[in-house]
């Protein structure tokens, strides 16, 4: 009895609170027909927004992978002063609200901030352009790769790595043939999460993007712009692209969970 009630309540809650809103996005996007939907997606500004969003992710991903591998390797393999503090600092972006994060960047890298102000005389501007969007995206996504790699590195491979070094492998060979095969699944997982978040970030990006039409509008910002322009159907159409991306992320995650090696979460 309790079982049936609890399961039904769970489904009712998740359906009403989570599933129905997602369905409503698609319903509204197609409410004026498929032709309007296609026209909305192919709208010039929306396409530019998609382009900028993908470009941002393509810049953020490699930087974050380099950082994530380096930081996870450092924390997993070496003991040094400040190791615990480093881990807490790397996790901090998860606890900081997006608007506060955006503000922090503006205060330092903006034209009135110490770094932005110092660069301004040389004609370099870091905020209200692609650089600014990339910087805050790096901030909001930086814990993902480290978080996935660290548990895997903690449980695997140190002996293999030492053996490889003793047998004369250089650093690159060690990474390419010993470390990378061990962490590849976790790395893919981290990359998927990073990509999804980088393309979907709204609050932090909205602070530093400057909202220049057709120039610094990422897809999430474009959704807000269309919505405020009373083009709700266009906004919902743009939203379906990001929704599809989110659902794809979940599917990829499910596949990685099922077919990848069991994760070494401690």
The distance of closest approach from Cβ of residue 227 to another protein in the complex, given in angstroms and rounded to an integer, is: 6
Who contacts 44 (Cβ-Cβ below 8 Å, separation ≥6)?
214
The distance of closest approach from Cβ of residue 242 to another protein in the complex, given in angstroms and rounded to an integer, is: 5
User: Helix 83-95 to helix 130-155 angle, to the nearest 10 degrees?
Assistant: 130
Residue 73 in the binding site for another protein (CB under 8 A): yes
Residue 50 in the binding site for another protein (CB under 8 A): no
For residue 236, the Cα-to-chain-centroid distance in whole angstroms is: 21
The distance of closest approach from Cβ of residue 257 to another protein in the complex, given in angstroms and rounded to an integer, is: 10
Segment interacting with another protein, rule: CB under 8 A, options 38-46, 98-106, 117-125, 182-190: 98-106
Site for another protein in 191-210 (CB under 8 A): 196, 199-203, 206-207
Binding residue for another protein, selected from 54, 154, 188, 256, defined by CB under 8 A = 154
DSSP string, 221-255: HHHHHHHHTT-HHHHHHHHHHHHHHHHHHHHHHHH
Q: Dihedral through CA 217, CA 221, CA 225, CA 230, nearest 10?
A: 140
Who contacts 63 (Cβ-Cβ below 8 Å, separation ≥6)?
138
For residue 38 the two structure tokens come to 């296609």
Residue 98 in the binding site for another protein (CB under 8 A): yes
Site for another protein in 207-266 (CB under 8 A): 207, 220-221, 223-224, 227, 235-236, 239, 242-243, 246-247, 249-250, 253-254, 266
The distance of closest approach from Cβ of residue 36 to another protein in the complex, given in angstroms and rounded to an integer, is: 16
Count residues binding another protein (CB under 8 A): 100
């Amino acid at each position: 009895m309790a079982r049936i009630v609890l399961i039904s309540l769970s489904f009712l809650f998740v359906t009403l609170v989570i599933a129905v809103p997602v369905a409503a996005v698609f319903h509204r996007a197609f409410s004026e027909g498929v032709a309007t939907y296609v026209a909305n997606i192919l709208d010039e500004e929306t396409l530019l927004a998609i382009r900028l969003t993908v470009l941002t992710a393509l810049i953020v991903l490699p930087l974050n992978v380099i950082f994530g591998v380096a930081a996870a390797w450092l924390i997993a393999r070496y003991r040094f002063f400040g190791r615990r503090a480093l881990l807490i600092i790397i996790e901090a972006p998860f606890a900081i609200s997006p608007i506060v994060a955006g503000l922090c960047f503006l205060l330092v890298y903006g034209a009135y901030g110490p770094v932005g102000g110092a660069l301004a005389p040389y004609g370099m501007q870091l905020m209200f352009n692609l650089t600014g969007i990339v910087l805050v995206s790096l901030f909001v996504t930086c814990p993902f790769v480290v978080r996935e790699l660290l548990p895997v590195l903690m449980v695997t491979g140190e002996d293999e790595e030492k053996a490889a070094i003793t047998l004369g492998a250089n650093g690159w060979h060690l990474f390419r043939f010993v470390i990378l095969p061990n962490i590849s699944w976790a790395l893919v997982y981290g990359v998927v999460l990073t990509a999804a978040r980088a393309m979907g970030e709204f609050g932090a990006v909205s602070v530093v993007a400057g909202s220049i039409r057709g120039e610094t509008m990422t897809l999430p910002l474009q959704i807000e712009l269309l919505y405020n322009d009373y083009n709700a159907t266009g906004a919902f159409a743009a939203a379906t692209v990001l929704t599809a991306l989110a659902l794809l992320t979940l599917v990829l995650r499910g596949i990685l969970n099922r077919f990848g090696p069991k994760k070494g979460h401690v």
